[in-house]
């Protein structure tokens, strides 16, 4: 059986709640404990850096993808197992998803939302069947879940859209959901 790879979308900042960084650290370590590879945006700042450093410290393979214009801003983490520099943000997102078996979305900002909605749209269009998990740390993603329900309620998406996203409240629940989905 080949090694599984988990794409993690998350903030390039730490956010206001220390629980976000704690979850990022636990997720990185948890991926390593499962012998899964971390695929992420190659930054060494915020939740991205926290996840990658924890994964590396616990022995995980790491696969980072960063567009050249963000190398300095996100402080590209070049000591990864694999470090890819792309021309554009769109290419970054494509390479990340193509090299992953599942997606986990930690708290983050507009970039994380962009990544989430693109991967959700691709799933809705049948371009992939990879599991998408929202790691809803301390209810961070509650407003997003409400928005998705609103989109369905207002007739802009079929109810099947909601089935493409699994919300979990803890890293332990995320790892368990990934084990079930990837077995």
- Model-level pTM? 0.95
The pLDDT score that the predictor gives to residue 80 is 84
Class of domain 5-182: alpha beta
Using the predicted structure, report yes or no on whether residue 151 has a pLDDT greater than 70.
Answer: yes
Confidence band of 72 (pLDDT split at 50, 70, 90): low
Q: What is the mean pLDDT of residues 139-168?
A: 98
What is the tens place of the pLDDT at every residue in 87-104? 999 999 999 999 999 999
Domain locations along the chain: 5-182
Based on the number of CB atoms within 10 Å of its own CB, is 174 exposed (0-12), middle (13-18) or buried (19 or more)?
A: buried
């Amino acid at each position: 059986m080949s090694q599984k790879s988990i794409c993690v979308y998350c903030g390039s900042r730490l956010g206001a709640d220390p629980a976000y960084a704690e979850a990022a650290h636990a997720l990185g370590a948890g991926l390593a404990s499962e012998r899964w590879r971390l695929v992420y945006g190659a930054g060494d700042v915020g939740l991205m850096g926290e996840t990658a450093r924890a994964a590396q410290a616990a022995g995980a393979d790491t696969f980072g993808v960063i567009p050249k214009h963000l190398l300095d801003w996100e402080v590209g983490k070049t000591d990864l197992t694999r470090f890819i520099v792309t021309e554009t943000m769109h290419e970054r997102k494509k390479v990340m998803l193509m090299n992953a078996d599942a997606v986990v979305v930690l708290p983050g900002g507009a970039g994380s939302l962009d990544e989430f909605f693109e991967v959700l749209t691709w799933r809705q269009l049948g371009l992939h069947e990879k599991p998408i998990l929202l790691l809803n740390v301390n209810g961070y993603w509650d407003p997003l879940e409400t928005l998705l329900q609103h989109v369905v309620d207002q007739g802009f998406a079929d109810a099947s859209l909601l089935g493409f996203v699994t919300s979990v409240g803890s890293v332990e629940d995320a790892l368990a959901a990934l084990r079930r989905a990837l077995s």
